[in-house]
Amino acid sequence: METAEKIKWKVAGMDCPTCALTINKYLEKEGMENVKVNFATGAVSFELKGQKNELALSKGLTGLGYTVVEHQEALAQIHSHDHGKKGGWLKTHMQRFWFCLPFTLILMLHMIPALHSNSNWNWLMQPWIQFALTLPVLATGISYFGVSAIKSIRNRMPNMNVLVTIGALAAFVYSLYGTLTGQDDYIFYETAATVITLVFLGNYMEEHTVASTQAQLKKLAQKQVVMANMIAYDQEHNENIFPIESSALRTGDLILIKSGEQVPADCKILWGDAHLNEAIITGESVPVKKQSKDQLIGGSMMTDGTVKAQVTAVGKDSVMSGIINLVNEAQSEKPPVQQMADKISAVFVPLVVGIAFLTFLVNWIVLQDFTPSLMRAIAVLVIACPCAMGLATPAAIAVGLGRGARNGILFRNATSLENFKDIRQVVFDKTGTLTTGNFTISGFQILDNNISEEAFKNIVYSLEKYSNHPIAKSITRTWKTKNEIRWKQIKEEKGKGMFATDKEGMAYAAGSYEITGGQAGSDHHNIYVMCNGQLIGAVELSDELRPESQTVIRYFHSKKIKTILLSGDRLSKARQVAEELGIDEVIAEKTPAEKLQIIGEKNTLMPTAMVGDGINDAPALAKATIGISMSDATQIALQTAQVVLTNHGLKNLPLAMGLGKHTYKTIKGNLFWAFAYNIVAIPVAAVGLLTPMFGALVMALSDVVLALNSGRLAVKKVV
The model's pLDDT over 365-379, given as tens digits with 9 standing for 90+, comes to 998 888 888 888 888
Write out the E strands in 19-86: 33-38, 43-48, 67-69
Q: How many CB atoms lie within 10 A of CB 115?
A: 14
Of 400, 391, 397, 396, nearest to 702 by C-alpha is: 391
Q: What is the pLDDT of residues 156-179, one digit of tens each?
A: 777 778 878 888 888 888 888 888
pLDDT score at 636: 53
429 is catalytic: yes
CA distance 371 to 318: 63
The stretches of 264-305 forming alpha helices (DSSP H) are: 279-282
DSSP per-residue letters across 419-459 = HGGG--EEEE-IIIIIB----EEEEEEE--TTS-HHHHHHH
Q: Which residues pair with 445 in a beta bridge?
A: 538
Q: Report the percentage of the chain scoring pLDDT > 70.
A: 81
Of 17, 18, 30, nearest to 59 by C-alpha is: 30
pLDDT score at 81: 39
CATH 3.40.50.1000 residue ranges for the chain: 398-435+545-661
Q: Is 591 helix (H, G, I), strand (E, B) or coil?
A: coil
CA distance 562 to 423: 9
Is the sign of the CA dihedral 444, 450, 455, 461 positive or negative? negative
Phi, psi of 497 (to 5 degrees): 155, -160
Strand 440-446 vs strand 534-542: parallel, antiparallel, or unpaired? antiparallel
Q: How many CB atoms lie within 10 A of CB 139?
A: 13
pLDDT score at 1: 43
CATH architecture of the domain 440-542 equals 3-Layer(aba) Sandwich (3.40)
Q: What is the pLDDT of residues 595-644, one digit of tens each?
A: 889 998 998 899 999 998 765 677 788 788 898 887 654 555 555 678 88
Q: Do 400 and 663 contact (CB within 8 A), yes or no?
A: yes
CATH 2.70.150.10 residue ranges for the chain: 225-317
CA 716 to chain CA centroid, Å, is 19
Of 583, 639, 613, 581, nearest to 437 by C-alpha is: 613
Of 664, 690, 528, nearest to 194 by C-alpha is: 690
Residue type, 374: L
Phi, psi of 641 (to 5 degrees): -105, 165
Of 641, 718, 79, nearest to 399 by C-alpha is: 718
CA 473 to chain CA centroid, Å, is 33
If you average pLDDT over residues 296-309, what whole number do you get?
Answer: 83
Q: How many CB atoms lie within 10 A of CB 242?
A: 9
Q: Is 546 helix (H, G, I), strand (E, B) or coil?
A: coil
Instruction: State the DSSP code for 145.
Output: I
Strand 307-313 vs strand 254-257: parallel, antiparallel, or unpaired? antiparallel
Strand 643-645 vs strand 274-277: parallel, antiparallel, or unpaired? unpaired
Q: What is the pLDDT of residues 402-423, one digit of tens each?
A: 788 778 788 877 778 888 888 9
Q: Is 153 helix (H, G, I), strand (E, B) or coil?
A: helix
Phi, psi of 458 (to 5 degrees): -65, -40
Q: Quick one: the chain helix, strand, coil %, rounded to 5?
A: 55, 20, 25
Question: Which pLDDT band holds residue 84 (cuts at 50, 70, 90)?
Answer: very low
pLDDT score at 209: 55
Q: Which residues pair with 626 in a beta bridge?
A: 609
Torsion of the alpha carbons at 90, 94, 100 and 105, rounded to the nearest 10: -160
pTM: 0.64
Of 497, 440, 430, 509, nearest to 469 by C-alpha is: 497
CA distance 72 to 85: 14
- Nearest-5° angle of CA 246, CA 249, CA 253? 130
Is the sign of the CA dihedral 218, 219, 224, 227 positive or negative? positive
Phi, psi of 191 (to 5 degrees): -65, -50
Judge whether residue 572 has pLDDT over 70.
yes
CA distance 36 to 422: 25
Judge whether residue 74 has pLDDT over 80.
no
Q: Which residues pair with 492 in a beta bridge?
A: 498
Q: Do 482 and 462 contact (CB within 8 A), yes or no?
A: no
Q: How many CB atoms lie within 10 A of CB 140?
A: 21
Q: Is 401 helix (H, G, I), strand (E, B) or coil?
A: helix
Q: Which residues pair with 231 in a beta bridge?
A: 241, 254
pLDDT score at 85: 42
Residue 245 host element (H or E): strand 239-245
Of 429, 543, 632, 703, the active-site residue reads 429
CA distance 562 to 556: 7
Orientation of helix 319-332 relative to helix 386-406, angle to 10° = 150
CATH 3.30.70.100 residue ranges for the chain: 5-58+66-77
pLDDT score at 238: 76
CA distance 103 to 482: 84
Fold topology of 398-435+545-661: Rossmann fold (3.40.50)
Q: What is the pLDDT of residues 193-219, one digit of tens each?
A: 888 887 787 777 666 655 655 555 455
Edge-to-edge, what's the strand order for the sheet holding 266-271? 239-245, 227-233, 254-257, 307-313, 266-271, 295-296
CATH 3.40.1110.10 residue ranges for the chain: 440-542
Q: Is 415 helix (H, G, I), strand (E, B) or coil?
A: helix
Q: Is 117 helix (H, G, I), strand (E, B) or coil?
A: coil
CA distance 671 to 679: 12
pLDDT score at 80: 42
Instruction: State the DSSP code for 146.
Output: I
CATH of domain 225-317: 2.70.150.10
pLDDT score at 86: 44
pLDDT score at 633: 47
The mean pLDDT of the chain is 79
CATH of domain 5-58+66-77: 3.30.70.100
CA distance 183 to 200: 30
- Nearest-5° angle of CA 86, CA 246, CA 212? 40
Strand 301-305 vs strand 274-277: parallel, antiparallel, or unpaired? antiparallel
If you average pLDDT over residues 556-583, what whole number do you get?
Answer: 90
DSSP per-residue letters across 170-223 = HHHHHHHHHHHHT-GGG--HHHHHHHHHHHHHHHHHHHHHHHHTTHHHHHHHHT
CA distance 459 to 80: 59
Q: Report the percentage of the chain scoring pLDDT > 90.
A: 18
